Amino acid sequence: MDMALSVQPGEIVAVVGPNGAGKTTLLRLLAGLERLDHGLLQLDGLTVDDATDPGHVASHDRSVGWVPQDRLLFPHLSVAANVGFSPGATPNRVDHLLATLDLRSIADRRPSECSGGQAQRVAVARALAGSPSLLLLDEPSTALDAASRRRIHGLLGADDRPATLLVTHDPVEAAGIADRVIQLDAGRIVAASAL
């Protein structure tokens, strides 16, 4: 990857591009799950990766919420426990997210007892429960019905939302909620536009 990208607090940036363009790799770098080969990565003005061992901040020490395509919910925990898993989560924040994403009625279920759309909403709630500075969403609307999509988009439209990178193949979704769209190809930004 070779790019310069800055995302402001509260800004939603949609990341688009063909398969293999580097969209998921970008999210994994920001989450701390991949290491830089060269360059510098800063979050909240702090360097979290500079391509050296001492310069890499572990993923659990970053203020990042991440929703990967495969959700990665903990199968042995209830919906409420999954949402509240973050050390930064508070009971009030968990309750607010369960209510906002219509998950209260299934709070005691395990992920295996949830529909795909419910599990996706749980993953989004868990990513937001610790009040991260940066939210990373990798195709968050996949397998969602219209009502679930509206709930998630409504939450992303809240005044207190974090800086957000939204990977999507849906141009309507990008245009509907993003402040800006960047297009990647071969690990580089090839186009950018404000909406």
* Cα–Cα distance, 116 to 112 (Å, whole number): 9
Convert the pLDDT of each residue in 73-131 to its tens digit. Answer: 999 999 999 999 988 899 999 999 999 999 999 999 999 999 888 898 999 999 999 99
Higher pLDDT, 49 or 161: 49
Q: Which residues of 21-43 are buried (b: 16+ CB within 10 A; e: fewer)?
A: bbbbebbbbbbbebebeeeebeb
What is the band of 44 on the pLDDT scale with cuts at 50, 70, 90?
A: confident
Tell me if 175 sits within 8 A of 195, measured CB to CB.
yes
Q: Model pTM? A: 0.90
Q: Kindly list the structural domains of the chain, giving each domain's residue range(s) and its CATH number in brackets, ordered by start.
A: 12-77+133-194 (3.40.50.300)
Please tell me the predicted confidence (pLDDT) of residue 155.
Answer: 77
Query: Percentages helix, strand, coil for the chain, rounded to the nearest 5?
Result: 35, 20, 45
The 3-state DSSP class for residue 192 equals strand
Using DSSP's 3-state secondary structure scheme, residue 125 falls into helix
> Given this model, what pLDDT does residue 152 score?
81
The Cα angle at residue 135 between residues 130 and 141, in degrees rounded to 5:
115
* SS3 of residue 175 by DSSP: helix
Alpha helices per DSSP H over 17-145: 23-31, 79-83, 91-100, 116-129
Instruction: Give the pLDDT confidence score for residue 148 in this predicted structure.
Output: 78
Alpha-carbon distances, residue 30 vs 69, 97, 172, 184 (angstroms): 16, 24, 25, 16
Residue with tokens 């580089």: 188
Supply 57's token pair: 């901040």
Helix (H) or strand (E) holding 188: strand 188-194
